[in-house]
């Protein structure tokens, strides 16, 4: 009977993949926790009655607060996507540069070839993780934005806008 065992490299690769996915999940949890904060608070400060501490908005003010809040949220989501895309692009450029460098050298020393193969494997792994993060962010961004709009529509402080 032949028994297959995972190599040290496979185990290390799986461990690194799990760490990267866990890191991405932790970032998402932090963002989710931040979203439970009152999203309207920074936008309502200008409209707060100094004496009572209460906010009473007319329909135009409520619409202004709604638009500003959704615009800022959309900007944060697109900024996050751009950060991930820039990291992905940088990783791909570095890999392309290292490949070109190895090809220019021609006859390579075996040690350098092994180092390059190791680097290439790691770079491909990082690229795959970044692509997964970007895809997950794009899917979750749509859901998060819809959730924000739902919360804003249900918020009693913006009720004047819907009347």
Domain count, the chain: 1
Q: How confident is the model at residue 36 (pLDDT cuts 50, 70, 90)?
A: low
What Rg value do the Cα atoms of the chain yield, rounded? 25
pLDDT, mean over the chain: 87
Extended strands (E) in the chain? none
Q: pTM above the 0.85 mark? A: no
Beta-carbon contacts of residue 113 (< 8 Å; ≥ 6 apart):
102
In a domain, 84, yes or no: yes
CA angle 143, 41, 32 (to 5 degrees): 35
Distance separating alpha carbons of residues 87 and 80, to the nearest angstrom: 11
Q: How confident is the model at residue 150 (pLDDT cuts 50, 70, 90)?
A: very high
In a domain, 11, yes or no: no
For 38, the 3-state DSSP assignment is: coil
User: Is the pLDDT confidence value at 137 over 80?
Assistant: yes
In a domain, 150, yes or no: yes
Domain that holds residue 88: 40-45+56-162
**Mean of pLDDT values over 67-80:** 96
Which of 60, 63, 65, 59 shows the shortest CA–CA distance to 45?
A: 65
In a domain, 9, yes or no: no
107 or 16, which is more confident:
16
In a domain, 14, yes or no: no
pLDDT on residue 107: 66
Answer whether 73's CB lies under 8 Å from 145's CB: yes
92 or 47, which is more confident:
92
In a domain, 7, yes or no: no
């Amino acid at each position: 009977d032949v028994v297959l065992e995972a190599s040290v490299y496979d185990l290390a690769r799986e461990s690194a993949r799990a760490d990267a996915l866990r890191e991405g999940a932790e970032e998402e949890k932090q963002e989710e926790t931040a979203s439970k904060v009152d999203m309207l608070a920074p936008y309502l400060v200008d409209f707060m009655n100094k004496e009572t501490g209460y906010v009473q908005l007319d329909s135009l003010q409520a619409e202004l607060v709604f638009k500003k809040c959704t615009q800022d949220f959309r900007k944060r989501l697109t900024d996050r996507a751009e950060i991930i895309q820039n990291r992905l692009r940088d990783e791909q450029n570095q890999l392309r540069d290292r490949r070109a460098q190895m090809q220019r050298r021609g006859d390579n020393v075996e040690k350098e070839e092994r180092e390059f193969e190791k680097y290439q494997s790691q770079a491909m792994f990082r690229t795959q993780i970044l692509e997964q993060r970007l895809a997950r962010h794009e899917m979750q961004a749509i859901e998060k934005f819809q959730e924000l709009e739902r919360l804003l529509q249900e918020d009693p402080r913006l009720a004047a806008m819907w009347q």
